[in-house]
Amino acid sequence: MTDNSRRYPDPSIRVFDPRFKSLILASASVECLYQGARWSEGPVWFGDGRYLLWSDIPNDRILRWDETTGNVSTFRQSSNNANGHTRDRHGRLVSCEHLTRRVTRTEYDGSITVLADRYQGKRFNSPNDVIVKSDGSIWFTDPTFGIAGFYEGEQQESELTACVYRIDGQSGEVSIVADDVLGPNGLAFSPDESVLYIVESRGEPRKIRAFDVGSDGATLSNNRVLIDAGPGTPDGFRVDIHGNLWCGWGMGTDELDGVRVFNPQGEALGHIALPERCANVCLGGRHRNRLFMAASHGLYSLYVNTQGVIGG
């Protein structure tokens, strides 16, 4: 177990821009909640049960951390090498699965419904990250990472170009919303859902791209670079109520590993340093003001002075 910081303010919280000071708390520090995963991903908060779920992809399991006890248990194994998760507007778990190359929903009784596993008769690659819009539509990325080898799934042939998809909330129809992002990875909407952000993880350097969401709520336009990551590796991220992006970050150095925070204009505000690369985050807790960080082998948290958007 990594020692938690005992100093206030926590020296691992680095301010790049004075505007970051309003988002952090002088008497809150990074806490290590768990160590023992192979590759942590996809954290999602269940406030009604006061627990967090996240993926340990190579170990083929979904883990559960309980807020009341601090205990970690196995929520599901096999998870079909699940990666990203979110909750739909009815509170149900929505998951991306590498092994089965599909997006699923866990019903209230624990049964699993397949929401999508093909597009025009061809199997997806390995759905990676997923979000749900206020209209009930489900948006997910589909790079080839999970079928490239036997570590996060099984090596299989790609049948489709890596794209970003939308599942209609009423009809269940699947459509492509973006086919011009290299290795699409994490994604999130702006608070008013007028902009969709997508990590381009096969760009050199990696980038976070922004798209305008059409008035129909289902189409994208104006593909542009919001953030050039330079030596960093953005992966999964979430957005707070002010529109700031809290991004999993790293590349194996003390200066890069952790969470990098940007404002809606793409300006870097600050950094939360972790002892390992962070893959994905979510904002949970009673007031959606606790940042949960799924890092390489562990799970960390930090109370912050903002809130995650509803549905994020």
Please report where in the chains the tokens 């109370």 appear, as a residue: 303
* Own/partner long-range contacts of 216-219 (Cβ < 8 Å, ≥24 apart): 217/133, 217/135, 217/137, 217/193, 218/137, 218/166, 218/168, 218/175, 218/177, 219/177
Contact partners, residue 103, CB within 8 Å, separation at least 6: 94, 95, 96, 97, 114, 115, 116, 117, 124, 127, 130, 138, 140, 167
Query: Would the pLDDT of 2 be above 80?
Result: no
**For 52-97, how does the pLDDT look when each residue is reduced to its tens digit (9 = 90+)?**
999 999 999 999 999 999 999 999 999 999 999 999 999 999 999 9
**For 15-40, how does the pLDDT look when each residue is reduced to its tens digit (9 = 90+)?**
999 999 999 999 999 999 999 999 99
Mean pLDDT, residues 90-114? 98
Q: Which CATH number fits domain 13-303: 3.40.50.150, 1.20.1600.10, 1.10.569.10, 2.120.10.30?
A: 2.120.10.30
Query: Would the pLDDT of 124 be above 90?
Result: yes
**For 159-199, how does the pLDDT look when each residue is reduced to its tens digit (9 = 90+)?**
999 999 999 999 999 999 999 999 999 999 999 999 999 99
Among 38, 15, 9, 33, which residue's Cα sits nearest to residue 290? 33
Per-residue model confidence (pLDDT) at position 1: 34
- The reply to whether the predicted model has a pTM over 0.95 is yes
Mean pLDDT, residues 296-312? 93
Per-residue model confidence (pLDDT) at position 7: 85
Per-residue model confidence (pLDDT) at position 224: 98
Domain residue limits, the chain: 13-303
